[in-house]
Amino acid sequence: MALLEDTTNPRVLEEINASLNLLDDKGSVAVAVAASVGIARLEAVRFRALAQLNRHRGGARSVAQEVAFELSLVDGHAGAMVAAADALTTRLPRTLDLLDQGKVSGFGAMKVAAATVWLSDENALAADAVLGDRLAGKNCEQIRKAASHVAATVDREGADKRAEHSREGRRLAVRQGETGVA
């Protein structure tokens, strides 16, 4: 806990912010990159803490609401974070390792969790193994596309069933908006 407290120590942050004025453009980029790596590492800690909370509460639906309240998030995003936390700590260990190394952001890790949620545990581990070498240095959209592609490759039959189910569920709806625009 002491390590986490250092990152929120106002005095330390004041010193860091004061030294930023002395940086040139390359130094500014280097600090921004270093900060992103540190943030990703802290996000890995947060995901582990959320997964532990969820285990303590037996996966109760109220966990997402509690997380939403405590972290000032909307319920949907908090639920996605809790689900990603569970996936990262059980089904996606290589992605979590990349997060620990600061090579993938928390948002990128959530994209992997969302893209692989429909896979069996065994297939999720297989997809994670393939993705481990492909995610570093990618932006979130590239990560989402790679994870979706690998998930479909790992379970082609399941991907085909999902696609068919999605096609069957397609529909067109028109509704009147508040300003008279449909």
pLDDT tens digits, one per residue of 93-141: 999 999 999 999 999 999 999 999 999 999 999 999 999 999 999 999 9
Residue 23 to residue 28: CA distance in whole angstroms: 6
Considering just the CA atoms, what is the radius of gyration of the chain in Å?
20
Q: How far separated are the first and last CA of the chain, in Å rounded?
A: 53
The domain spans of the chain are 2-48+91-166
What pTM was computed for the model? 0.82
The per-residue DSSP string of 25-52 comes to HHHHHHHHHHHHHHHHHHHHHHHHHHHH
Q: Are 135 and 108 in contact (CB under 8 A)?
A: yes
pLDDT tens per residue, the chain (182 residues)? 454 456 667 887 787 778 888 888 898 898 889 889 999 999 999 999 999 999 999 988 899 999 999 999 999 999 999 999 999 999 999 999 999 999 999 999 999 999 999 999 999 999 999 999 999 999 999 999 999 999 999 988 877 677 777 777 778 888 887 776 76
Cβ neighbors of 123 (< 8 A, separation 6 or more) are: 116, 151, 154, 155, 158
Sign of CA pseudo-dihedral 47, 48, 50, 51: positive
DSSP state of 143: H
